[in-house]
Amino acid sequence: MNYQNSFTKKRIISLFIIIMIGIASIVFKLTYIQFIDYNFINQRALDLWARQVPIYGKRGNIYDRNGQLIVGNQLAPSLAVIPRQVQNKNEVAIFLADVLNTTPQTILNHLNRNVSVELIKPSGRKLSMDQVERILAQNIRGLYLVGDSKRFYPHGSTLAQVLGFTGIDNQGIAGIEFIYDDFLSGQDGSLNIFTDARGNLMDGMMGIYQGGTRGLDISLTIDLNMQLIVENVIRQAVARYRPDQMMVLVTNVRTGEVLSMASYPTFDPANYQNYPQEIYNRNLPIWMSFEPGSTFKIMTYAAGLQEGVFGIDDQFFDPGYRIVNGVRINDWKPGGHGLQTFLEVLQNSCNPGFMEIGERLGTERLFRYIRDFGFGQRTGIDLLGESTGIVFNVDNVGPLELATSAFGQGNSVTPIQLAMAANAAVNGGNLMVPHILRNVQVPGINSVVFEQNPVVRRQVISPEVSRVVASSLEHVTARGTGRGAYIEGFRVGGKTGTAQKVGPDGQYLDNNYILSFLGMAPMNNPEISVYLAIDNPRNTIQFGGVVAAPLVGQIFEQILPLAGVQRQTQDQIERELRWLLDTRYFDVANFVGMDISQIIRNPFFHIEVVGRGQRVLGQLPAAGERVREGGRIILYT
């Protein structure tokens, strides 16, 4: 009996100890969870209850060099749903299908998914305000409008190929938007709401809002006012000449900054899906590769001067052709230009004269300068899609290839290569790396975190030779083939180009040309260059001096004042007028103080009188300025 009582007692004690250990373990675990591991358990619970609705960060803005907005953001909410909260899913699907312009089945596929939160995309992304108002008016349980934005283009298609565009998730896809996506992209946020397993909101649980952040702003070297002027000139030229393609490139001669870059055909970046890829993927000033024609003569001329193979006053006789390896190569002017100086060889764009320069330089030296001026290699501009062009392998260059290369046939170049090379010829000899990013800034405080400085690739010719090239090119617009770009008071220089296009079979096409003009100003201190090329213009004479040069003149006349270039009343080379081709200018007399009856009417310009008096109190333009033939002088009485 005593033995049994003792055994029973021991079992009771053991059971008691086990129970106490269990209770202690539970108390310890609860204490550990409550006071030590509570963050982990709370987070697990929150994760189970939380429904994360995305809030998209905004991209940074894109500005021009003067702080004018080029690309911004516009509120465009997106639609998210918590499927378990949605009742009457068929009715909701029919309603949303009508609002979002899709099918009810597509919406049902979203509503029936076994997920905590579902984005309705693509049809529910970046909604219009009309769509937002229709959804809000129904107050449907389970539908959430989340913060989102879309790119806003205040100037429409302006600068389209340069800017590129963004995708539905605000990611950069092309152009500047893609290249500098790391700077421009914002950080996404979220709205966390808490529901039970049935999707019901949990009492006493407040949502957690974490807003998205905006990306960095960037400023481009582009001058928006210049860009608008350039694109307006392109629109007028397209309406008049109906070309296949057209491009304009404006750069700073000394720094390599791109001030304007435009292509035709163009597109609307807000609706890029509506255009063929060959339009929005081709930024012509850096992508297009073609034989440049006579604009290339700038570099041949500069190389010949640098090597001392001719002087500008040395004479050359042009019979109108040159025989090279038994092949007759004609000049553009039948009968030739006769006896002329090498300065006049450039003025007249004389092909035999440039073949002579090429022969004097020889293959090795000419092609060394071609390479040194940057042809056959990318310029390094901070844009995608740049071509390298094609330059003859020196080992394959014979007398015929040497002759044609000297005046711009045989090798292919890109507009950006040509502009940078010509800039080097007149800016003191420095070949610059072109760039389009100016700086990166923190939004709101305008704190610059990165700034792009000019970069010199190499010096190609001496400053002394460069000054001679600049003066020679001013003679081209005053007395040579580029007179269509001459502007009274602005010292414009440049070179025309008329390049016959090559067909798919490698043969030159008949009556199909790329007409161009490459101009710089002011030639006493070159600052701005403009390169314009127009591909296969209709209803016109096929000469760069007739079509392209006047268009560049229009651009220069409007953008030079924007660049702070003042008109110069002295030292400009007087233009030699061609009968019926060139507009004449006349000095404006001083009419102030004169009686209206004493003023002799001039048949070459119009005089307009404002006021009813007889004595002139003021005039526009002022005395000493010049007015073009057919222009107006306004007299105030």
Contact 227, 158 (CB under 8 A): yes
Q: How far apart are CA 165 and CA 167, in angstroms?
A: 7
**Catalytic position from the list 185, 294, 405, 529:** 294
Identify the CA nearest to 219 among candidates 449, 19, 480, 406. Answer: 449
Number of CB atoms found within 10 A of residue 464's CB: 11
What is the distance of C-alpha 306 from the center of its chain? 34
| DSSP H helical ranges for 112-214 | 129-138, 160-163, 175-179, 181-184
> For 395, phi and psi rounded to 5 degrees?
-65, -20
Tracing tokens 């984005």 back to the chain, one arrives at 119
Burial of 437 (0-12, 13-18, 19+ CB in 10 A): buried
Q: Which amino acid is at 594?
A: M
Q: What is the CA radius of gyration of the chain?
A: 36
Q: How far apart are CA 264 and CA 242, in angstroms?
A: 11
Q: Tokens representing 313? A: 């006053």
Contact 258, 222 (CB under 8 A): yes
> For 68, phi and psi rounded to 5 degrees?
-80, 135
Q: What are the residues facing 318 on neighbouring strands?
A: 338
> Using a CB cutoff of 8 Å and minimum separation of 24, what contacts does 614-619 make?
616/591, 616/592, 617/592, 618/592, 619/588, 619/590, 619/591, 619/592
Which residues, at least 6 apart from 116, have a Cβ–Cβ distance to it below 8 Å? 50, 51, 52, 82
**DSSP symbol at 66:** T
Local structure of 10: helix, strand or coil: helix
Q: How far apart are CA 540 and CA 542, in angstroms?
A: 6
Q: Tokens representing 107? A: 């919406």
Q: How far apart are CA 249 and CA 420, in angstroms?
A: 11
Tracing tokens 């709370």 back to the chain, one arrives at 42
Taking CA atoms, 229 is separated from 243, 462, 471, in Å, by 19, 34, 27
Strand 327-330 and strand 321-324: the pairing is: antiparallel
Local structure of 381: helix, strand or coil: coil
294 is catalytic: yes
Taking CA atoms, 131 is separated from 89, 95, 98, 128, 385, in Å, by 19, 11, 10, 5, 38
Show which residues are catalytic.
294
